[in-house]
Structures are given as C-alpha cells and as structure tokens.
Amino acid sequence: METFKHLVNILAHPTIMLTVGMLVFLFFFPPNDWFEKWNRRLRLNFLWTKKGFYFVMFLMVVFFLFGLTDPNFSLIIKKPDNVPIIGLIFFVFIFLWISMNQALKNDNLIEAGEKPEEYNDPEDKVLVWPDLVYIEFIALILCMSLLLIWSIGLEAPLEGPANPAESPNPSKAPWYFLGLQEMLVYFDPWLAGVVFPSLIILGLMAIPYLDTNPEGAGYYSYKQRRLAIPIYLFGWMILWVALIVIGTFLRGPNWNFFGPFEFWDLHKLVPLTNINLSEIIYIKWFNRGLPENILVREIFGFLIVFGYFLLLPPLLAKTAFKKLHQNLGNFKFGFFIFLLLCMLSLPIKMYLRWLFNLKYLIAIPEFFFNI
Amino acid sequence: MIMNEEGKKEQTVSGNELGQGSTPTGPTLKEKVRKKEASASIGKGTFEEEISRRSFFSWLTIAWIAFSAATVAFFAMMMRFMFPNVLFEPPQSFKVGYPKDYTVGQVDVRWKSKHGIWIIRSPEYIYALSTICTHLGCKPNWLENEQKFKCPCHGSGFRKTGINFEGPAPRPLERFKIVLADDGQILVDKTKIFQYEKGQWNDPESYLVV
Ligand code: FES
C-alpha cells in the first residue's frame, strides 16, 4: 500500500502528470492519421463503450474510496470546499462519455455508408410545451433538492474573521477559479488575470465563426471533426479541468506541490530559484552583467515572443494546417492561430518554469511588463 | 361553479366581484373614496371628471419630484455606504522602538498585523519591508528555517532583503522610509516607498545605519 501511495505521489508531480496526460490525450482524441492508427491498434475506443464506462467509473470510485482511508488525502476529499470538484471529475467523464459514445456509433454508421443515428430518430424534435418545460421543471426540482440536502448535510466551509494582515496558507480561490490561479503562477498578473481570461471568452465566442465545417452539424461525430474536438477538449480538459484538479488536490501550504497522499508540511523545502531569460543569457552564457538599456537586455525575449507569434502562423499555414488555411482565408486563419498559440503558451510556460526555472521571457518590472 | 343554495350563491358572487360590486354589509372602497371626494370638493362634479389637463400636470410634477427625490436619496445612501463608520486605517507613520530592540540578522514580524511591515536588522543597517506581495497583494509569511518570505497565494518567494527569487512576483518587496526620531526611536513612514527596480534602495532614507 505504502509503495502504491508513494508511486502515486511521484506520478502526481505536475511535470509527469501533465506530460503523460497530454500524450494520452492525443491518443484518445487523435488529431491526425498517425495517432488514429495507434488509437485503433491499442483499441482505445474501448473507453467509449458501455464496458469502458463501467470500468472507468469503477476505477474512480475505488480510487476515492481508497483515498478516504489515507489520513492526508481524506482531509482533502472530505473538505466541503472540494466536494464540487469530485463531482466535477465524475460529471466531466460522464458527459464526455455520452457524446463520444454517440459520436463513435455515428462514425461507424457513416463508414458503413449509412446516415447518423440522429437522422432516423423520429423523436428528434421535442415540443417546448409541455415536454421540454416539464423536463426543465423536473431538473429544477432535483437540483433544488440536491442543493438543499447538500447545504443541510455539509457545513459551510467558513474560516475565521477576515484579517487584512494575514493570508490563509494556502490561499485558494473558489474552486472554479483554481485554473486561473494556477495560471497566475506562471504569468504576470496582467496577462494571467486580464488578457488571457478575456481571450478565453473571446475565443469561445469566436468558435462559430472559426469552425465553419458543415459536417457534424446536428449529429455527433468524431471523425468528421478531428480538429475541432481535440482543440476544444485540450483547452477544456487539460487547461481548465486538469488545472482545477491540480489546484485542489496538489497545491498545499506556501503553494508548493504535494502528492495526494503526502502530508501538508508547512516547511517542505522546495529549492527553487527562478531566473529571467535575460539573466540566463547574459550572466550564465556570456558571463557578464546585464546591460543597462532595457531593450538590449530583453532583446532575446522579444525575439522569441515575436518569432512565436509572427513566424509560426505562416509556417503552420504551409504545413500542419494547410487545408484549414485554405478554407478559412488569411484573416480568420490568423485569428484562429493567434488564439491557438495563446492557448498553447500556457503549457509551454509551465514547462519552461518546471524544467528550467525560467521566470519571464521578457522581464521589464520597470513598466510592469513581463511575459 | 354550481350553486344550489341562495346564501352560497350570494357569497360566491360577492367574492368573485370583489372591488367592483357591493357587499351587503357596507360600502366598497370606491364608494368610500367617492364620498370623501364629494365632501372635499362640493359641486365640482365627479371624481373622474376632476382630473383636468392642468391638474394632471401638477400631479405629474409632484410624482416626478417625489421620484427624483427618492432616486437621489437612494444614491446618496449608496454613496454613504462608500464611507464606512469604522475604517481600518492605522497611522501611516509611527514609531517602532529603539534600534537596540532588534537582533542582528533577525526578521521582526511583530509589526506585521498592526502596521504591515517587517523590520529587519542586518549587521550594518535596519530597513522596513512592506508585507504586501508584489504579485497580487497577498501577505507572505516569514519562514525562519528557509530564511525566506513565502507567499501562500501563488508561491512567490522573497529573500530577507526583499528581493524576489521564486514564483511569479515580478519585482522585489517595497521598502519604507525609516529614520531616527528625536527621542532616539525608529520612525517608519509608509507614505514614502522605495522600489528596488527603480534603484531607490540606495536612497539614505530607505535604510537606517546603526
Ligand atoms: S499574491 Fe503573492 S504570489 Fe501571487
């Protein structure tokens, strides 16, 4: 048991967990032929069958039940604050399973030259009154009673009186913001707190204008939307849900990483010294002091950032996204690729921090400008 | 509704037409109003005819004034809300005892909750650090074992000098003006801040030579 817990603690380190998670993600949601080949070979679509559903649900339940027996992990699980997140983990999987299950059924039908299931469904239309309103009404009552039971059964997670001089340790945002809080660890506040959240909303609003693929409208399908689904799910599952889970289960006192079965030691020593790119280049490589001039000092960071946003789009338009570029045209494609690169900059920055202790690519504290 | 008995019928009818018809027991609201009107303005016709164009406007004016007054009062109350009765505003400049009260090499956390400063005595001088994280304004803790300030919100770390070295905080903690008062006590003035990245820590007021 102890070795198992130890193993989980090691695997839970975000560097390992996120890497494994992203790789596994690509195989489960293959964006191109190569991954799809492996997806087939490994029979990963088993997950989206009924058996796969019970299998995963069983694993998750067993894991949490086992977690309850551990003195450290049970503290996290039982905390009233964290109940929604355990619910979130289950619900995300359930809804994902429902849509993927249907999508794969349809994919098979389409492959066999038939129409997707939704076409043959005589009841694919629901009358607003009374059918839909009744369903909504019942859902409303169920939610109300659930909330009532919840609020009676679990004590509100109140803390001591507010004190402007002390911050609780660790200070966690409400659970739905934990992803943003995790993002704040890697970026300057104006980026992680203002620019990126706005871009997320903007990007979600832009989806119908950018995703003009007429296939898959009105029915579930994975194969016909092999680009749209992985991109969206990457942002949702990895960059939002997974970060919330990390923030809940793995962030402890002093905002250090802790394995789920690890004791929250206030004095856990994590040797970390973050340095800026300019310091790495000038001091470590060139063996000299930082130049006085801000622009000269940060020139490498600027080059990297400009290269990332100006060189990558045309490159991708010629290679990986060739077809998309033709369909969308320059303007829409540019917008799309900008959003995509912004999204990818988060994991990139996380890895840079974890692997190289890199703090900021461009660091101009004089003007509050850090990237 | 099926009505068999006389009494029940009457009841139902009066119940149904409440406010329009009359109950057998007394005058309705409208009748009362009419009576009142009649006694108040004898010989001026009925209530309905009475609202002329002119009086309508005067009523409207009154209503409008009342509405505006209520709105103004509402916003006034809202503005009042912005100025609470009790304010957490400790004095911005205060005395923190004599230099000999501080041990060399120690971070003094006594003033954190009251004044929001750490007083640190290095072998050569004393300086006052702000307890506000330069990332998003949480309050870091001094960890004696690790010899660093560590923020519980996103994990920024600062050295004893206030220099940021881990986590996302973009710049070092700020220092405050620190001088000796006439009575030999240390006087800290939080209205004057010194920022490292602007080269202000060389300012003689930002530290106290002992
Ligand atoms: S507020 Fe201190 S690290 Fe974010």
What is the rounded average pLDDT of the residues A356-364? 86
Cβ–Cβ gap A185/B167 under 8 Å: yes
What pLDDT shows up at residue B199?
85
User: What pLDDT, on a 0 to 100 scale, did the predictor assign at position B48?
Assistant: 55
Would you say residue A123 lies in a domain?
no
A347: in domain? yes
Q: Minimal CA–CA distance to A84: which of A13, A21, A146, A164? A: A146
Confidence bin at A218 (pLDDT 50/70/90): confident
- What length is written for chain B? 210
Same domain? A5 vs A45: yes
Cα(A270)–Cα(B157) distance, rounded to whole angstroms? 11
Closest chain B CA to residue A369: B170
Percent of chain A at pLDDT exceeding 70: 99
Contacts of A363 (CB under 8 A, 6+ apart): A276, A277, A278, A298, A301, A370, B170
State the distance from the centre of ligand 1 to the C-alpha of A275, rounded, in angstroms: 17
* A188 & A305 share domain: no
Residue B30: predicted pLDDT: 52
Average pLDDT over residues A181-198: 90
In this structure, the answer to whether residues B74 and B133 fall within a common structural domain is: no
pLDDT band at residue A322 using 50, 70 and 90 as cut-offs: confident
A317 and A184 in a common domain: no
Cα separation, A88 vs A241, whole angstroms: 8
Q: Containing domain of residue A49, as a range?
A: 1-118+170-270
Q: Of A270, A302, A320, at which residue does a domain stop?
A: A270
Token pair, residue A33, equals 């032929």
The reported pLDDT for the residue numbered A124 is 64
Q: What is the pLDDT of residue B24?
A: 47
Domain that holds residue B128: 93-209
Q: Domain with B137 in it: what CATH number?
A: 2.102.10.10
Strand partners of residue A355 = none
Radius of gyration of the CA atoms of chain A, in A: 24
Do both A214 and A359 map to the same domain?
A: no
Give nearest CA residue, ligand 1 atom 3: B154
- Show which of A246, A270, A294 is a domain's final residue: A270
Residues B39 and B100 in one domain: no
pTM of the model as a whole: 0.77
Mean pLDDT by 10 residues, chain B (210 residues): 42 42 48 50 53 83 95 95 80 86 87 88 89 90 88 90 88 90 88 88 86
Residue A228 neighbours by CB under 8 Å, 6+ apart: A211, A213
Of A170, A171, A365, the CB nearest to B170: A365
> How many angstroms is it from A256 CA to the middle of ligand 1?
13
Pair (A96, A210) in one structural domain = yes
Measured over the CA atoms of residue B54, residue B56, residue B62 and residue B67, the dihedral's sign is negative
In a domain, B192, yes or no: yes
Q: How far is A272 from chain B (nearest CA, A)?
A: 6
In a domain? residue B187: yes
User: Is A151 a member of any domain?
Assistant: no
Which residues from B are below 8 Å from A167, CB to CB? 138-140, 151-153
Strand order in the sheet with B157-158: B141-143, B148-150, B157-158, B164-166
For A29, A63, A332, B112, the CA distances from A230, given in Å and listed in that order, are 6, 27, 19, 49
Closest listed residue to residue A45, CA positions, set A103, A115, A111: A103
Residues A366 and A241 grouped into a single domain:
no
pLDDT at position A122: 67
* Residues from chain B contacting residue A368 (CB–CB below 8 Å): 170
pLDDT of A339? 94
* H/E stretch holding B128: strand B125-130
Residue B189, in any domain of the structure:
yes
B104 and B30 inside one domain: no
Integer Cα distance of B118 and B131 in angstroms: 7
**Which pLDDT score is estimated for A114?**
86
Nearest residue on chain B to A362, alpha-carbon basis: B170
How many structural domains compose chain B? 2
Mean pLDDT, rounded, of chain A: 88
Do B73 and B134 fall into the same domain? no
Inter-chain touch B152–A363, beta carbons under 8 Å: no
- pLDDT tens-place string over residues A66-94: 989 988 888 888 888 888 899 999 999 99
Look at residue B151 and tell me if it is in a domain. Answer: yes
**Atom of ligand 1 minimally distant from the CA of B140:** 2
Residue A214 pLDDT exceeds 60: yes
d(CA B208, CA B119): 11
Model ipTM?
0.80
Give a yes or no: residue A152 inside a domain. Answer: no
Evaluated on CA atoms A181, A17, A362, A282, the torsion sign reads positive
List, in order, residues 6 or more apart from B109 with CB less than 8 Å away: B118, B142
CA A80 to the chain's CA centroid: 23
Place of tokens 């009649």: B38
Residue B86 lies in a domain: no
Q: Please report the pLDDT score of residue B49 as a whole number.
A: 59
Question: Ligand 1 center to residue A13 CA distance, Å?
Answer: 21
Q: Which of A270, A302, A333 is the endpoint of a domain?
A: A270
A258 to chain B, closest Cα gap in Å? 13
Q: Specify if A103 maps to a domain.
A: yes
| Count of domains observed in chain A | 2
Among B139, B146, B155, beta carbon nearest to A165: B139
* Structure token digits, residue A30: 């293959």
* Nearest CB to B170; choose among A164, A170, A368: A368
Nearest atom in ligand 1 to B136's CA: 1
